[in-house]
Amino acid sequence: MPARKRAAERSIAVTMEPVSGTRILNGQYSLLELIRPDDASKGTPMIWRVGDLGSVAVAKIWRDNAAQPELRSIWAHEVRNLLRLGGRPHADEVFVRLRELGIDPLGYVVVLDVEGREPLSQALRDRAHHPWLRDLRLPRTRQRLWEGLLRVARGLAIMHAEGTLHRMLGPDSVFTDLEGAGDFRLSGFEWSLRIASALADSKVETDYQVHLVQAPELVGNAAQYSVASDWFSFGVLAASVVAGISLPGATGDGTLGPIAKMVAKAPITPGEKRLVADLLDADPEKRMWHASDVTETISGIIDNLSVGRVSAQRPLYIGFNLSPGSDLSRLIVKASGGQAPAHDPGRQLDFIREDLGTEPQVSARIRPFPHYVLHGALINYQLSR
């Protein structure tokens, strides 16, 4: 009899709807504000802003399911995975820091130390009020956003190196400050490897297209998550954040509908369009899914977006070392096909003027050391100071 009573009490505790003021994890935290309700059909958790003594954090809560006792062992396995990821070098630079992991009468709880950040999804829903998300035609705006996405890509690369898939990468799983500094942190992978499918109805899960666009290979009963499908999700995130695109779901026949056309028309550079298109390739074999390829391409985009035009109102004065023995003179001789010989500095200066044109571009580079580059049609001129 006592055992049945405890079971009934436990069932009541699980089915109760949490409200502000409810205390969790043995009273350590108090629920303050519901950020997003859960969806049992997809295994997505409720997200609450929580407080302890003087600080505010974010808690994700997956409701317990008494009919699936094996979830406890899955939880223990996933906790070990999370702790291992958190111990990787530089993990705090790309992941949201885990403050607490535990089991509560409400369910399975992950408390995140977001350090004042908000879910990116919240900012995207209010995009018109955030210049750092709204003014996408400005290269500086997109440069900051790509810097944030580079953090996410590096976090995803660490997960894959540890043999863990994210499976639910999207705006809900990225936290950011609201100042537009590109200080993104990856989250949302907590317990996502197996617990979501254990909690969700399998049929509904395979049709999950409501909030996230899925890779075509995930549509249907034979869905197989992979590193490539995670990078597809990253491409969807990039298209939404940097190109301002709200993408439709993949269709049952594996096509991506008008996505390619929307990316092609977006006010972004050809390099940005190419990366997004490569990440969203419908064929997982052709898709860009090597982490090093993605991060190196993003780094190049960030460098290129730092290019600024030199206006006539702000002249740029540059001195060139032109002499028969200088590396620059030899390069000009080669680029001009011998028409600007090293012994004729006048012709070499004429070549430089023509090479730079009327609107020369200057970029700031941070690798392999901080410096500026003046971009010509045939030659890139590295500036020493």
Last residue of a domain, one of 61, 84, 113: 113
Structural element, H or E, at residue 247: none
Do 297 and 363 fall into the same domain? no
Do 267 and 288 fall into the same domain? yes
Do 243 and 265 fall into the same domain? yes
pTM check: above 0.95:
no
In this predicted model, what pLDDT tens digit does every residue of 190-209 receive, in sequence order?
545 444 444 444 333 322 23
Given this model, what pLDDT does residue 168 score? 82
What is the domain-level CATH number for residue 31? 3.30.200.20
Do 159 and 251 fall into the same domain? yes
Look at residue 320 and give its three-state secondary structure: coil
Domain count, the chain: 3
Do 164 and 86 fall into the same domain? no
Do 52 and 151 fall into the same domain? no
Given this model, what pLDDT does residue 204 score? 31
Given this model, what pLDDT does residue 233 score? 92
Instruction: Please give the Cα distance from 170 to 230 (Å, whole number).
Output: 10
Placement of tokens 């995140």 in the chain: 112
Placement of tokens 């898709």 in the chain: 287
Q: What is the DSSP letter of 95?
A: B
Given this model, what pLDDT does residue 288 score? 95
Reference 94, options 150, 143, 139; nearest CA is 150
Q: Which residues span the domain enclosing 360?
A: 308-383
Last residue of a domain, one of 93, 113, 133: 113
Given this model, what pLDDT does residue 257 score? 57
Do 152 and 209 fall into the same domain? yes
Specify whether the CB–CB gap between 96 and 185 falls below 8 A.
yes
Do 273 and 351 fall into the same domain? no
Given this model, what pLDDT does residue 220 score? 74
Last residue of a domain, one of 273, 305, 337: 305
Given this model, what pLDDT does residue 291 score? 95
DSSP 10-54: HHHHHHSPP-TT-EETTTTEEEEEEEE--BTTTTBPEEEEEE-SS
Do 103 and 207 fall into the same domain? no
Do 38 and 140 fall into the same domain? no
Given this model, what pLDDT does residue 42 score? 64
Given this model, what pLDDT does residue 315 score? 65
Specify whether the CB–CB gap between 216 and 254 falls below 8 A.
yes
Given this model, what pLDDT does residue 3 score? 39
Do 295 and 146 fall into the same domain? yes
Q: Work out the angle at residue 129's Cα, subtended by the Cα atoms of residues 37 and 364, and round it to the nearest 5 degrees.
A: 110
Given this model, what pLDDT does residue 375 score? 80
What is the domain-level CATH number for residue 251? 1.10.510.10
pLDDT in tens, the chain (385 residues): 443 333 333 433 444 678 999 999 999 999 999 988 887 766 678 889 999 877 889 998 888 765 566 677 767 777 777 777 777 878 888 998 888 888 898 888 889 888 888 889 889 988 888 989 988 888 889 999 999 999 999 999 999 988 888 888 988 889 998 888 889 999 866 545 444 444 444 333 322 233 457 888 887 777 788 999 999 999 999 999 998 887 554 444 444 556 777 888 888 888 899 999 999 998 999 999 999 999 999 999 998 887 654 444 456 678 899 998 899 999 999 999 999 999 999 999 999 988 887 767 777 676 677 778 888 878 988 887 6
Q: How much is the CA Rg of the chain, to the nearest whole Å? A: 26
Q: Work out the angle at residue 172's Cα, subtended by the Cα atoms of residues 167 and 177, and round it to the nearest 5 degrees.
A: 130
Given this model, what pLDDT does residue 352 score? 92
Specify whether the CB–CB gap between 28 and 191 falls below 8 A.
no
Do 249 and 353 fall into the same domain? no
Specify whether the CB–CB gap between 23 and 30 falls below 8 A.
yes
Q: What is the DSSP letter of 216?
A: G
Specify whether the CB–CB gap between 130 and 178 falls below 8 A.
yes
